């Protein structure tokens, strides 16, 4: 579903409360979002997604029957010596197993063997059945069961390096998930345990996700079999001193915030524009809005926040932010009515020279 990045085009994909807002603009330019297909670029090119980790694929379907052998050519004057038809039997591959496990689809079965050539002037025999499809790769796990399943999307800024992104969880720093840029992979993490994700990529600033608490029994995971999670990579050639003069000190962090419309929002509370953000306990924070306005614009709802921090990428500071718009409610953890809660806890890890995002806020009726 993830179609890449086009300059000047804003995309929004909202699983209510689990919103991914995708923007290419002058200030904030996240990349392709968390609706990336978790089976993309993993395993074979065909076959359905795995149901259980490591399960073997079912047998491929039988190869197609061989075509009739071509008629023998006429014999020469001394008597017919032509051989029979030489058309081979079925060469269609067996179809992929449909019960493969893991985060990749099962591979297609190999081609059936060709049938033997027919006797003089007779048809060739049918091909043998294709081989069984291979099972998908097992999903990476973090910590102990029971698990909730995250679809971790490796988002990148336009023109950033395209190398793989390495992701770990705060609860399992020894477990690494390697994601090709602009794609996603599944990651099983402890159910209902607060966790944030840490990402590195050659040529990019280190990236942190918001803190999440995933729920295997929640409405989103029940519907999609996973919950979307973002790690945002921005090229380390990006000159943030244009927005934050103190950026080069090494103690400043960036938070990317996207504003979504909550279910049931009406009038001005159905408009993502006009929202302002602050960071609790950080009066020095600099907040910039797309379009260089004084609040979020109606077409994107994006804000970029710079703040000074003692946190680092390996040991981040946890901060909270607040959004405000007159007559409306702006929340980081979602709404108790009009849709399910978001899976964000409200805590946002930040570190020097590190980018955190995308943090999703939602605006709705108070």
Q: What is the pLDDT of residue 312?
A: 97
Q: What is the pLDDT of residue 132?
A: 64
Cα separation, 42 vs 179, whole angstroms: 10
Q: How far apart are the first and last CA of the chain?
A: 34
Q: What is the pLDDT of residue 214?
A: 94
Residues 6+ apart with CB under 8 A from 242: none
Q: What is the pLDDT of residue 295?
A: 98
Whether the CB-CB separation of 138 and 106 falls below 8 Å is answered with no
Q: What is the pLDDT of residue 290?
A: 86
Q: What is the pLDDT of residue 98?
A: 41
Three-state helix/strand/coil letters over the chain: CCCCCCCCCCEEEEECCEEEEECCCCCCCCCCCCCCCCCCCCCCCCCCCCCCCCCCCCCCCCCCCCCCCCCCCCCECCECCCCCCCCCCCCCECCCCCCCCCCCCCECCCECCCCCCCCCCCCCCCCCCCCCCECCCCCEECCCCCEEEEEEEEEECCCCCCCCEEEEECCEEEEEEEECCCCEEEEEEECCCCECEEEECCCECEEECCCECCCCCCHHHHHHCCEEEEEEECECCCCHHHCCCCHHHCCEEEEEEEEEECCCCCHHHHCCCCCEEEECCCCCCEEEECCCCCCCCCCCCEEEEEEECCCCCCCCEEECEEEECCCCEEECCCCCCCCCCCCECCCEEECCCEEEEEEEEEEECC
What is the residue extent of each domain of the chain?
Answer: 11-37+140-364
Whether the CB-CB separation of 345 and 295 falls below 8 Å is answered with no
Residues 6+ apart with CB under 8 A from 282: 307, 308, 319
Q: What is the pLDDT of residue 363?
A: 92
Whether the CB-CB separation of 228 and 152 falls below 8 Å is answered with no
Q: What is the pLDDT of residue 264?
A: 82
Mean pLDDT by 10 residues, the chain (366 residues): 29 31 31 35 29 39 49 38 42 44 46 60 65 71 96 70 91 93 91 96 94 91 89 91 91 95 89 97 96 93 96 97 96 61 88 95 90
The token duo for 128 is 């043998």
**φ/ψ (deg, to 5) at 305:** -115, 130
Range 130-143 burial, b when 16+ CB lie within 10 A, else e: bbbbbbbbbbbbbe
């Amino acid at each position: 579903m993830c179609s890449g990045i086009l300059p000047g085009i804003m995309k929004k994909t909202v699983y209510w409360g689990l919103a991914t807002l995708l923007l290419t603009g002058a200030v904030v330019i996240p990349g392709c979002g968390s609706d990336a297909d978790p089976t993309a670029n993993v395993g074979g090119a065909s076959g359905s997604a795995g149901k259980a980790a490591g399960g073997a694929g079912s047998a491929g379907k039988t190869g197609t029957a061989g075509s009739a052998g071509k008629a023998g050519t006429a014999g020469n004057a001394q008597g017919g010596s032509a051989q029979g038809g030489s058309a081979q039997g079925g060469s269609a591959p067996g179809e992929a197993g449909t019960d493969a496990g893991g985060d990749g689809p099962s591979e297609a079965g190999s081609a059936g063997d060709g049938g033997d050539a027919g006797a003089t002037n007779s048809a060739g025999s049918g091909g043998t059945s294709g081989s069984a499809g291979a099972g998908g790769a097992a999903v990476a796990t973090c910590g102990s069961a029971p698990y909730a399943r995250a679809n971790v999307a490796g988002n990148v800024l336009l023109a950033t390096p395209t190398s793989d992104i390495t992701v770990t969880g705060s609860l399992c720093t020894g477990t690494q998930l390697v994601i090709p840029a602009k794609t996603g992979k599944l990651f099983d993490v402890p159910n209902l345990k607060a966790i944030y994700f840490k990402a590195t990529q050659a040529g990019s600033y280190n990236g942190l996700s918001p803190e999440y608490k995933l729920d295997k029994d929640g409405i989103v995971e029940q519907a999609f079999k996973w919950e979307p999670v973002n790690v945002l990579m921005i090229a380390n050639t990006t000159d943030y001193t244009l927005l934050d003069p103190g950026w080069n000190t090494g103690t400043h962090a960036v938070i990317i915030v996207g504003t979504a419309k909550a279910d049931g929002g009406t009038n001005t509370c159905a408009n993502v524009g006009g929202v302002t953000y602050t960071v609790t306990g950080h009066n020095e924070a600099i907040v910039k809005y797309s379009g260089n306005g004084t609040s979020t614009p109606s077409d994107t709802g994006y804000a970029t926040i710079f703040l000074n921090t003692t946190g680092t990428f390996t040991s981040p500071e946890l901060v909270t932010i607040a959004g405000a718009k007159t007559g409306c409610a702006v929340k980081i953890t979602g709404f108790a009515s009009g849709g399910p809660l978001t899976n964000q806890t409200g805590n946002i890890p930040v570190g020097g020279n590190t980018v955190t995002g995308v943090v999703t806020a939602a605006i709705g009726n108070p």
